[in-house]
Amino acid sequence: MLSGTRELSSIKHFIPQEYRTTGIKYNIIKRYIDLERFFYEVIEEGKQGYVVSGLNPSGPLHIGHYAVFKEVYEWSKLYDLKVNLPLTNDETYVVGKTNSLHNSYFIAKNQVIPLLRKIGFSDNDVYIDTDNLKMYQTAVYISKYIQYKEGRRVFGYDVNDNVGKMFYVSAIQIAQILMPQIIDPINEILEPKPTLIIIGLDQHPYIMLARDIAKKLNLYPPTAVYIDFMPSLIDPNKKMSASKPESAIFLNESEETIRKKIMHGFTGGKSKEEQLRNGGDINRCSVFKILPYLGVEISEIEKIKFKCKSGVLCYNCKKLIAQIVINRLKNQKIIE
């Protein structure tokens, strides 16, 4: 799974403070592939770079989605990158997360795009898959370069899968990654451009396949940084998920509900007496772990850590963290 990736900590000391995004600063990005070359081309050689990420619009958005898009936005600003954010309503449909293309299209249009605008993206940075003719043309163009056996090896096609899913996971997903470098798929006009993909580590096989295809087409193999997703409020070892509402803070929730959810969050499971005696366990506290994702200042995080270790009870800490989270989201106008 990790083949070809390296730990970001091995190169972090090269990256000056002013070039560190929240993900780099707080070690939310742990691994990467080929980031050195991307930095070289964009910073030393001054080439126009691209950043690509995306979202499967299958359900309500939570603060984990917000954190990922915020990270993408930071990269685009710090490194002056053009943005490509596909909203994959076709994927939602073919993998069966929704019954109709309309549903996922509706979520993309009415929930995701407004959120992206609030973060700072322009409408040109985003597209809904089924609206994007060039993306489909690109997928058809590159599909010729992906063999069935490769797709089966990388994605594990099942005999019961519909052919839409097979086409999506291989050709469309790779097209989204390579599209900045494929100027005109119909006339086969290609232009190598440094491209950075911000994605979860589970998507690494796609990146490896995209890199292989890029080499075949004499394009730059895309760079990827692998981001850890925001932990679940009820289990620090799992990620926040829309399918488990109590694990997530949704962006359409009221201030009161957010506060309530944080107050019910898992904070390590120590008894009151034990906590007063030995302090809390920050590493097992889901509530504490969401702070870096929101870019809360290190000094503030350290203060909370100190209080926790000094035996301050979780109730007080959670109250404080709930207020920090609400203030952050309010300042960005993510919640009313």
Partner 1 sequence: MLSKFAKYMPHNIQENNIIVGYGGTFDGYDLPIDEIRYWLFMHLYKKFLESKGKSVKLVYIIADKGVFHNYGENKETCSWRAKRISQIKALNKFFNNEFEVMLQSEIKITKDDIKNVNYLTKRYNNLLEKTIPPSRISQERKRKYLYTLEELLTFIKITNGKYLIKVGPPREVFYDKLIKILKRKFSPLYLKPVYPVNCTWAYYLYRSDVREFGLTPYKVGDKGYLEKRILITDDVLTIKYKISNTRVSKEYLPEVLSPYYDLVNLYYYYKNKNVIIDDLANELYKISKEVMGHK
Q: 215 to each of 208, 243, 279, how far by Cα in Å?
A: 11, 38, 53
Q: Is 37 in the site for partner 1 (CB under 8 A)?
A: yes
Whole-angstrom distance, CA of residue 51 vs CA of residue 197: 6
Q: What's the token pair of residue 295?
A: 């870019």
Query: Which one of residues 2, 7, 9, 19 is an interface residue with partner 1 (CB under 8 A)?
Result: 19
Q: Does 11 bind partner 1 (CB under 8 A)?
A: yes
Q: How far apart are CA 336 and CA 329, in angstroms?
A: 9
User: By the 8 A CB rule, do 125 and 83 touch?
Assistant: yes
The amino acid occupying position 197 is I
Hey, what are 112's tokens?
A: 């995701």
* Residue 256 found at the interface with partner 1 (CB under 8 A): no
Total residues in contact with partner 1, by rule CB under 8 A: 13
Asked if residue 302 binds partner 1 (CB under 8 A), the reply is: no
Pick from 1, 3, 16, 336 the residue near partner 1 by CB under 8 A. Answer: 16
Interface with partner 1 in residues 42-101 (CB under 8 A): 42-44
Under rule CB under 8 A, residue 144 binds partner 1: no
- Taking CB under 8 A as the binding criterion, the range among 40-48, 192-200, 229-237, 290-298 that sits at the site for partner 1 is 40-48
- Which helix (H) or strand (E) element contains residue 206? helix 204-216
Site stretch for partner 1 (CB under 8 A), options 39-47, 180-188, 239-247, 294-302:
39-47
Candidates 239, 232, 289, 282; CA nearest to 261 is 232
The distance of closest approach from Cβ of residue 212 to partner 1 in the complex, given in angstroms and rounded to an integer, is 22
Rounded Cα distance between 207 and 197, Å, is 8
Could you give the angle at which helices 255-263 and 314-331 cross, rounded to 10 degrees? 150
The CA angle 301-306-311, to the nearest 5 degrees, is 130
Paired strand residues for 190: 182
Give min distance, CB of 16 to partner 1, in A. 5
Stretch near partner 1 under the rule CB under 8 A, chosen from 13-21, 107-115, 178-186, 268-276: 13-21
Kindly state whether residue 133 participates in binding partner 1, applying the rule CB under 8 A.
no
Region binding partner 1 by CB under 8 A among candidate stretches 10-18, 67-75, 103-111, 120-128: 10-18
Selected range binding partner 1 among 7-15, 53-61, 267-275, 316-324, rule: CB under 8 A: 7-15
Q: Indicate which single residue of 13, 122, 163, 271 sits in contact with partner 1 (rule: CB under 8 A).
A: 13
Q: Which of 7, 9, 40, 114 binds partner 1 (CB under 8 A)?
A: 40
Name which of 20 and 109 has its Cβ closer to partner 1. Answer: 20
Interface residue with partner 1, options 28, 32, 33, 39 (CB under 8 A): 39
Instruction: Say if residues 263 and 322 touch (Cβ distance below 8 Å).
Output: yes
SS (H, E, C) 167-201: HHHHHHHHHHHHHHHEEECCCCEECCCCEEEEECH
Instruction: Supply the minimum distance, in Å, between the C-beta of residue 14 and partner 1.
Output: 4
CA 257 to each of CA 250, 261, 294: distance values in angstroms, whole numbers, following the listed order? 9, 6, 18
The stretch near partner 1 (CB under 8 A) out of 35-43, 59-67, 173-181, 293-301 is 35-43
Minimal distance, residue 110 CB to partner 1, in Å: 40
Q: Would you tell me which residues interact with partner 1 (CB under 8 A)?
A: 11, 13-16, 19, 36-37, 39-40, 42-44
